[in-house]
């Protein structure tokens, strides 16, 4: 079992908070897609013949590609790999891209899941973020996708930013519930160093984010999702039963995956590699038959810490036997380091599994970092 991630580095405009690799110029789109096809060929053996269970188009804004371009990439993958007949194939999409014509074109492809970047149902918030769509498009895009026969939909929401009052946050959540989408990914607004938002805050043009607001709105989110029957299966992800993101769940479970495209990361169980985050250099390297990636051999300590970080974020939690399989004696050492978190009620243990409590989820990154080896 393995997955393939495809990074499509194009956007209509730059969101003020985003630090992912992208460009707003489509000038070299054709060449870049050709380079991605070439990378798929050169990386054919990276996953060692494992069946592909999930394919994920991320970015950037992969919904800028047309149906033929997406179909050609999927055709290349199918020619090179054994792809499961029930593979989960996800396309990240901006609401304004999901027009009736586009949806009909996508119905002709194997894509069976949408991740729609709504973020907010308020125009003033979307303008503050510099999103390309309007609030009316956020709602109508979901309805259009459902009407076109796409039922497996997840939407993104952001909380913890100055414009978002608790009342507006409740409205955003209620709107998602009304739309009856089976999966929600929700993130606290994070200020990354090299973004427009970080620059605005440094220049006092925007206020800094408020950690207390973020924590309170996260608690509101968890309570509301629970009342609506959603399973909180990862810190930022909620789903109705049976609608977990298989692709992202595999990341957290340590399943192998191949990342294709500029800035994409790959993992094969023993090493990680990441492609250059530069479109022209990426294209030039692939046209020369060279994979523009750096590789890191994971040490035992790397594997322990990575497992702690990813497993604690999930509903499945950290399994002490898995830890022991990575390094003998590690579970006893971790339990000793975790004692203060048990006492605070931030983590709990059931048999061989350690999980975050609801209060502990507020401190997930801190807890994981304190348990690192």
Mean pLDDT for the stretch of residues 204-213: 96
Does 237 fall in a domain?
A: yes
| Helix intervals (H) in the chain | 29-42, 67-80, 100-106, 123-129, 135-147, 166-179, 196-202, 211-227, 246-253, 279-287, 300-312, 320-326, 330-337, 339-344, 364-371
Query: Does one domain contain both 321 and 173?
Result: no
In angstroms, the CA 11 to CA 19 distance is 12
In angstroms, the CA 257 to CA 87 distance is 14
Query: Does one domain contain both 246 and 323?
Result: no
Q: What is the pLDDT of residues 179-206, one digit of tens each?
A: 999 999 999 999 999 999 999 999 999 9
Q: Mean pLDDT of all residues in the chain?
A: 97
Query: Does one domain contain both 113 and 179?
Result: yes
Q: What is the pTM of this model?
A: 0.96
Confidence category of residue 148, pLDDT binned at 50, 70, 90: very high
Give residue 331's domain range. 300-371
Q: What is the pLDDT of residues 51-62, one digit of tens each?
A: 999 999 999 999
CA-nearest of 295, 304, 273 to 373 is 304
Mean pLDDT for the stretch of residues 44-55: 97
Beta pairing class for 257-260 and 237-239: unpaired
CA-nearest of 318, 331, 272, 259 to 299 is 272
Mean pLDDT for the stretch of residues 330-355: 97
In angstroms, the CA 121 to CA 131 distance is 12
Confidence category of residue 269, pLDDT binned at 50, 70, 90: confident
Q: State the residue for tokens 């994971």.
A: 298
Mean pLDDT for the stretch of residues 33-46: 98
In angstroms, the CA 154 to CA 319 distance is 28
Q: What is the pLDDT of residues 311-326, one digit of tens each?
A: 999 999 999 999 999 9
Mean pLDDT for the stretch of residues 219-239: 98
Confidence category of residue 307, pLDDT binned at 50, 70, 90: very high
Q: What is the pLDDT of residues 73-86, one digit of tens each?
A: 999 999 999 999 99
CATH code for the domain of 352: 1.10.10.920
**Residue 330, SS3?**
helix
In angstroms, the CA 36 to CA 54 distance is 18
Does 268 fall in a domain?
A: no
Does 65 fall in a domain?
A: yes
Peptide bond connecting 199 to the previous residue in cis, omega within 30 degrees of 0: no
Does 106 fall in a domain?
A: yes
| Structural domains counted in the chain | 2
Does 337 fall in a domain?
A: yes
């Amino acid at each position: 079992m393995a997955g393939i991630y495809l990074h499509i580095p194009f956007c209509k405009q730059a969101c003020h908070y985003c630090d992912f690799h992208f460009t707003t110029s489509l000038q070299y789109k054709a060449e870049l897609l050709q380079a991605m096809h070439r990378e798929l060929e050169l990386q054919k053996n990276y996953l060692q013949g494992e069946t592909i269970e999930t394919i994920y188009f991320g970015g950037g804004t992969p919904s800028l590609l047309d149906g033929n371009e997406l179909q050609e990439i999927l055709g290349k993958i199918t020619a090179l790999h054994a792809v499961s007949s029930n593979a989960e194939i996800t396309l990240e999409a901006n609401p304004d891209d999901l027009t009736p014509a586009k949806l009909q074109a996508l119905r002709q492809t194997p894509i069976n899941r949408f991740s729609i970047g709504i973020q907010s149902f308020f125009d003033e918030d979307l303008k503050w973020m510099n999103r390309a769509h309007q609030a009316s498009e956020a709602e109508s895009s979901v309805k259009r996708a459902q009407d076109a026969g796409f039922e497996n939909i997840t939407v993104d929401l952001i909380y913890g930013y100055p414009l978002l009052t608790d009342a507006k946050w409740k409205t955003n959540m209620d709107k998602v519930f009304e739309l009856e989408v089976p999966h929600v990914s929700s993130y606290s607004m994070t200020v990354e160093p090299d973004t427009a938002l970080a620059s605005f805050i440094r220049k006092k043009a925007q206020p800094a984010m408020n950690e207390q607001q973020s924590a309170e709105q996260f608690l509101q989110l968890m309570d509301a999702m629970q009342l609506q029957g959603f399973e909180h299966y990862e810190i930022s992800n909620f789903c109705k039963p049976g609608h977990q993101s298989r692709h992202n769940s595999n990341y957290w479970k340590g399943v192998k995956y191949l990342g294709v495209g500029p800035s994409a990361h790959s993992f094969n169980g023993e090493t990680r590699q990441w492609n250059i985050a530069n479109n022209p250099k990426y294209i030039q390297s692939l046209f020369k038959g060279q994979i523009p990636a750096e590789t890191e051999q994971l040490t035992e300590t790397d594997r322990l810490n990575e497992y702690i970080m990813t497993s604690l974020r999930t509903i499945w939690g950290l399994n002490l036997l898995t830890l022991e399989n990575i390094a003998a004696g590690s579970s006893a050492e971790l339990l000793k380091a975790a004692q203060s978190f048990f006492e605070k009620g931030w983590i709990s243990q059931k048999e061989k599994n350690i999980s975050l409590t609801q209060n502990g989820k507020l401190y997930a990154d801190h807890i994981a970092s304190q348990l690192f080896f």
